[in-house]
Structure 1
Amino acid sequence: MGDKRIGFIGVGLMGHGMASNIVEKGWPLTVMGHRNRAPVEDLVSRGALEAKTPREMAEASDILFLCVTGSPQIEDLMRRSDGILAGAHDGLIVVDTSTAIPDSTISLAAELEAKGAAMADAPLGGTPAQAEAGELSAMVGASPQVFAAIEPVLQAWAAKVVHLGPVGDGHKMKLLNNFLSLGYGALYAEALAVARKVGISAQTFDSVIRGSRMDCGFYQTFIQYSLTGDRDVHKFTLSNAHKDLRYLAAMANEAVIANHIGAAAKNTYAYAEAIGRGGDYVPFLAEIIAEANGVKT
């Protein structure tokens, strides 16, 4: 597909599918070792190489993708003594596909620029299943030149790629996107708890919402746990959801704007994490809110 050397750090639930599409579609790929060896070994079996440190990854890559939890992890990968900045070189492009704090992204981009390298933020829309199928969406913040260089590789794992503007804009839009989706999750969970309390089952609730103007892809995966007990159809943890809404609050604070609904949604996810359910997936929120109100599920 191309002669650019591609690196990938973070081959977890989302990253494995993205990286597998890159290597299967002909790009030379290097991945970084991870405590969960299974996805790394799978990618190596498909033809990827393995590196041990972020510095080695930077040195071995023309385009280096990052798919980790958030800004603290990204900043560590970039700034540690054996980090990406230590191995940055002219022409390197670092593409952060995580959900991160925009101001952090803009600061890191400036540090890379001082090394002759560049940064883009390309956070994701979609599920792990869509990652494996190459059907994610990407909302990209980058200069026109950087976007042109990375777009062919983005298309290896994304069905929809939108260039929003300069670096940082991707993460700004991702926080807005997740505010909508996770806000829906909080609303669905509370609506289902009220429904059960007044004698409306999840099945009856779904018979009205599905196919109506209130239906959407997020609803369809969210509701499956309440309908069928499928624990894995919507693999996004409550702790990650809480983190994303904290980042949204930070962005709103910097913009000096009130975000009342965002704060309410954040506190719903904060409650779930505070009671020890942060490792559960977002659709479990319906069960958590019901139980908090003494409603059996």
Structure 2
Amino acid sequence: MDPVLGRLSRDSNKGNPMNKPVIGFIGVGLMGHGMAKNIVENGYPLMVMAHRNRQPVEDLLHRGATEVHSAREMAEACDIIHLCVSGSPQVEQLVRAPDGIIAAGKKGLIVVDCSTSDPVSTLQLAEELRGAGMDLADAPLGRTPKEAEAGTLDAMVGASPETFARIKPVIDCWAGLVVHMGEVGLGHKMKLINNFVALGYAVLYSEALAVARKSGLSAEQVDSVLRPGRLSNGFYETFMKWTLERDENAHRFAITNAHKDMRYLSNLANSIGAVTPVQATLRNAFAAMEAAGRGEDYVPMMADFIAEANGLDDSKA
């Protein structure tokens, strides 16, 4: 281990009579910042890696975190590393690169992948990490950046019972609901199923609003019936905030990420021989919006995209 990092790791544990494990966090973006904040504020020594947006990094350093400059440096100094990045290519790079996690050779290290990743890739990485004396847990997230800041996310965890027992106290810092799905890989599989249902709602709501408007009903009229009835849910409420209130922060999940998740689900379906005609249709809806240059729009803005395809000016009458 680099002598400076060794000192930093020891210094991180000063004033920590319970000798809590040193936690690393890579990916302190919309979701990761709140998660990391709750870890360090619960008394865990925290190390973070440089991010393209310095503001969340600087905030965490102000709260007591230490900054490192590569995944290998972090792995040498930490006991548990959280990854909260865009997807499997980024996770694979962090694990396999010459300056990545495996290169550290840190026996007993646990990598917790909180990204929405491809389960096929997750299982391959788990095998590689085990071969290096490390372990992988998948703990993808449910809910939004608001809950990340509050420490009340949902976590769907795939891990051995022993690994789950080690990481759960840390996950409890940022999650209000922690469900151990079973062996590694099952967390990412459940996350894709969860997003399949959610993104199916998004396409369904968007098309329903377009049909309603073309037939003479307003978005407000549709909402007056759906919101108080059995068809309402938490996803509906945040989705409709864009259409009704133009609140772009209510549901901050980009179209490009939605399309990526549905590609991962297609890969999973192919790997197990599942027939998924509905999933293929809604995946194409996100593909069309991204191809039209709208990939950075948030998911509720699909209502605008489908409205425009129907000759309407936007999603609200």
TM over 0.5: yes
Task: Judge conservation of contact 1:88–1:112 (CA < 8 Å) in 2.
Answer: no
Tell me the residue number matched to 1:98: 115
List gaps (5 residues or longer) in structure 2.
1-17
Match status 1:47 vs 2:42: no
Match of 1:133 in 2: 150
Aligned to 1:225: 242
Helix, strand or coil: the match of 2:82? strand
Alignment-mate amino acid for residue 33 of structure 2: H
In 1, the alpha carbon distance for the partners of 2:107 and 2:219 equals: 56
2:181 corresponds to: 164
How far apart, CA to CA, are the structure 2 residues paired with 1:49 and 1:220?
A: 38
Counterpart in the other structure of 1:216: 233
Normalising by structure 2, we get a TM-score of 0.92
Find out whether 1:143 has 2:138 as its counterpart: no
Is 1:89 aligned to residue 106 of structure 2? yes
Equivalent residue, structure 1, for 2:199 = 182
Give yes or no for contact 1:272–1:288 (8 Å, CA) kept in 2.
yes
Task: Tell me the residue number matched to 2:297.
Answer: 280
* 2:13 equivalent in structure 1: none
- One of 48, 55, 61 as aligned partner of 1:38: 55
Tell me the distance in 1 between the aligned counterparts of 2:260 and 2:75: 27
Q: Is the 8 A contact 1:226 1:286 kept in 2?
A: yes
Q: Is the 8 A contact 1:64 1:94 kept in 2?
A: yes
Q: Paired residues, what number?
A: 297
**Partner letter of residue 182 of structure 1?**
L
Aligned residue in 2 for 1:257: 274
Query: Using the alignment, how far apart are the partners of 1:204 and 1:2 within structure 2?
Result: 58
Q: What code does the residue aligned with 2:199 have?
A: L
**1:266 partnered with 2:283:** yes
Query: Residue type of the partner of 1:27?
Result: Y
Cα shift at 1:2: 5.6
Q: Of 32, 43, 50, which aligns to 1:15?
A: 32
Structure 1: distance between partners of 2:181 and 2:247: 35
Report the CA distance between 1:88 and its aligned residue: 3.7
One-letter amino acid of the counterpart of residue 223, structure 1: M
Corresponding position of 1:28: 45
Deviations along 1:17-52, one digit per CA (max 9) or x if unpaired, are 100000111111000001110000000000000000
What letter is aligned with 1:57?
A: M
One-letter amino acid of the counterpart of residue 10, structure 1: G
- d(CA) in 1 for partners of 2:209, 2:238: 15
State the AA in 1 paired with 2:77. A
Are residues 212 and 55 of structure 1, via their aligned partners in 2, closer, same or farther at CA, if it must alter by over 3 Å? same
User: What is the Cα deviation at residue 90 of structure 1?
Assistant: 1.4
Is 1:73 paired with 2:73?
no
Is the CA contact (8 Å cut-off) linking 1:2 and 1:26 kept in structure 2?
no
Report Cα offsets for 1:35-85 as digits up to 9, x if no partner. Answer: 110000000000000000010111111010000011111001111110011
CA distance in 2, matches of 1:7, 1:105: 19
Residue 257 of structure 1: CA displacement? 1.4
Aligned counterpart, 2:130: 113
How many angstroms apart in 1 are the aligned matches of 2:42 and 2:226?
39
Structure 2: how far apart are the matches of 1:111 and 1:199? 58
Measure the CA separation in 2 of the matches of 1:202 and 1:230: 15
Alpha-carbon distance in structure 2 between the residues aligned to 1:255 and 1:241: 21
1:218-248 alpha-carbon deviations (Å, 9 max, x no partner): 1100000000111111000000000000111
Structure 1 gaps of 5+ residues are: none
Aligned partners of 2:160, 2:141: CA distance in 1, in Å?
18
CA deviation profile, 1:115-138 (whole Å, cap 9, x unmatched)? 111010000001000100001000
| Contact persistence 1:55–1:83 (CA under 8 A) | yes
State the structure with more CA Rg.
2
Shift of 1:211: 2.4
What is the TM-score normalised by the length of structure 1?
0.99
